[in-house]
Amino acid sequence: MQAGQSSRSRSAKASSRGGLASVARLVKLGRCKNVLVVAGAGISTASGIPDFRTPGTGLYANLEKYNIPYPEAIFNIDYFSNDPQPFFSLAKALYPGRHRPNYIHYFIRMIHHKGLLLRMYTQNIDGLEKLCGIPDDKLVEAHGSFATASCHLCYTPYPSEEAKNAIMNDDVPICTFCAATVKPDVVFFGEDLPQKYFLHTNDFPKADLLIIMGTSLQIEPFASLVNTVRAAVPRLLLNRHAVGPFQKVPLRRGDYMELGNMEDTVRRFAEMLGWSHEIEDLMRSQETGCVPTLMSSLPAVTAQTTCWNTEDSEPQCSMETSKSRPAAPRAASSGSEETDSETDSKSSASSTPSN
């Protein structure tokens, strides 16, 4: 047993060594022009947002005051239907506005500015991807967001600001159509995934590079997305621990992983790509609301300067909520052991939630 574990550890270390350089070389050679990013809560911990499952510090480890039968109940739609108050109490702390995007978010935005981002699929509900400037058409918020609200029973849309004001004032927003409880359009266990999630059926077969960042890859169906790219497509895991298919020894040919502190890893990756100064300039520009001229890696894309009012840069979700949602896969846990800060930012739709 010890020999096997030692061999596994040596293999993991060896597999991570040189992974960033190998992928950076592919990008610089122009072989990666349709990059997919799959991300979880690990990309937001540097912004001061706790993940959901890290023992001791994660959200699920600090819910005793809400008097719920088990941690995931706070995001269970049946439990919410019976008693919405625990979630509303937690939502007051979860609503976007208290935190800012970090270097990792701007690295992903830089992938877009280089003309390389096919799409980003995020489990996060913090809205930081949009806040850093990733366009809505390049972003799939697989587990919803606080930007819109609707009735949890009949799905009738409800003004999001009114819902937020009610929740912040310890009131319960009520649907004007059926009198059921309204909630932000965050996907709960037992709910359908948003329609935009199903863009993956077209996106993943097109990808020529998959970057997986800050996720435990435990919540289905999101976790299985990483297995739907073509076999020859390189996959890069940036995480604190090996997860999902990256736990296998040996790794699949074309799989790379870099384990450790997420922000440090991404900074080294940016340095290898020659993007560091542009990302730093982009982050500084957020203070003034003007984006500096950015170099594109594709000749057809022209660099330009863009300005906006930073007060209007709060995340806005364009996802529509209909009264009748088509059936969608439910999320389920793969049953593997949970990891650190790379865990999922939001539990996916599931009738059988699991850590």
Nearest one of 159, 172, 184 to 96, comparing CA atoms:
184
Task: Tell me: is residue 268 an annotated ligand-binding position.
Answer: no
**Nearest CA to 172 among 84, 77, 251?**
84
* 53 labelled binding-site residue: yes
Cβ count within 10 A of residue 270? 22
Is residue 32 annotated as involved in ligand binding?
no
Is 343 known as a binding-site position?
no
> Is residue 126 a known part of a binding site?
yes
Q: Is 317 annotated as a binding residue?
A: no
Answer yes or no: is 178 a known binding residue.
yes
DSSP helix, strand, coil percent of the chain (3-state; round to 5): 35, 15, 45
Q: Is 150 annotated as a binding residue?
A: no
Give the active site residue among 112, 143, 152, 241: 143
In this structure, what token pair is assigned to residue 259? Answer: 């384990």
- 255 annotated as ligand-binding: no
Residue 44 in marked binding region = yes
Long-range CB contacts (within 8 A, 24+) of 107-112: 107/266, 107/269, 107/270, 107/275, 107/279, 108/37, 108/39, 108/43, 108/132, 108/134, 109/133, 109/134, 109/282, 110/270, 110/275, 110/278, 110/279, 110/282, 110/294, 111/35, 111/37, 112/138
Query: Of the candidates 15, 350, 14, 12, which has an alpha carbon nearest to the alpha carbon of residue 188?
Result: 350
Residue 174 marked ligand-binding: no
Respond yes or no: is residue 143 known to be catalytic. yes
Q: Is 215 annotated as a binding residue?
A: yes
Q: Is there a binding annotation on residue 123?
A: yes
Sequence-distant (6+) residues with CB within 8 A of 354 are: 72, 218, 332, 333, 335
Annotated binding site for NAD(+): 41-45, 51-53, 123-126, 215-216
Point out the annotated binding site for Zn(2+): 151, 154, 175, 178
Give me the active site residues, please: 143
Q: Binding site residues, as ranges? A: 41-45, 51-53, 123-126, 151, 154, 175, 178, 215-216
